[in-house]
Amino acid sequence: MSDFLRALHDALDERRRARRLTWAAATREINRGVVTRHQIARSTIAGLKTKSVAEGDGVLQMLLWLGRTPESVVPGFADAGAERFQLPMPAEHEVLRWDLPKLYTALDAERQARGKSWAVVAREIGGVTPGVLTGLARASRVGFPGVMRIIAWLGRPAAAFTRIAAR
């Protein structure tokens, strides 16, 4: 189980209960505006409390519904609600996604600036392999909380590695 995902589940459940919504109703709201092939299943959302990884773009939709930053589900993260951590809000015909090529470019630049190999960076980040890191250049999906460990290693806000895409 992931502390990140447990914290996210607890926040979703708290908001759901406060609004007197079923998991199905909360899921419909979270998925509002997301095209069918990218919608999050109710079981995926409700099951976060026992998962070790979740699909990263789906987590972004959940965080938008909560009005929270990715950093806000990192246990002990100070100042997680600060402006620099706020996610951009997509318009009705758009969706928020992780910008993996941008993340890869920043990661590679920082790796080179620190004079480290991919293997050393992977060990420092923890929970990822060098192949996962180099694969970000071509990836279309990323797991959460792994993406947050990568971003933490960079020392930059998660929002800097998101993009707004057409649905």
Residue with tokens 């999906």: 141
Contacts of 122 (CB under 8 A, 6+ apart): 128, 129, 130, 132, 133
Residue with tokens 């992931």: 2
Taking domain 98-166, whether its CATH number is 3.30.160 is answered by no
Q: Are 159 and 99 in contact (CB under 8 A)?
A: no
Domain boundaries, the chain: 3-88, 98-166
Looking at residue 100, its pLDDT comes to: 95
Dihedral of CA 120/121/127/132: which sign?
negative
Looking at residue 87, its pLDDT comes to: 95
Average pLDDT of each block of 10 consecutive residues along the chain (167 residues)?
83 95 92 70 86 91 94 86 92 89 97 98 95 92 91 95 89
Looking at residue 37, its pLDDT comes to: 61
Looking at residue 3, its pLDDT comes to: 83
Looking at residue 26, its pLDDT comes to: 93
Distance, in Å, from the CA atom of 72 to the CA atom of 84, rounded to the nearest integer, reads 12
Looking at residue 88, its pLDDT comes to: 94
Reply yes or no: is the peptide bond before residue 88 cis, omega within 30 of 0.
no
Looking at residue 22, its pLDDT comes to: 93
Looking at residue 34, its pLDDT comes to: 65
Distance, in Å, from the CA atom of 76 to the CA atom of 21, rounded to the nearest integer, reads 29
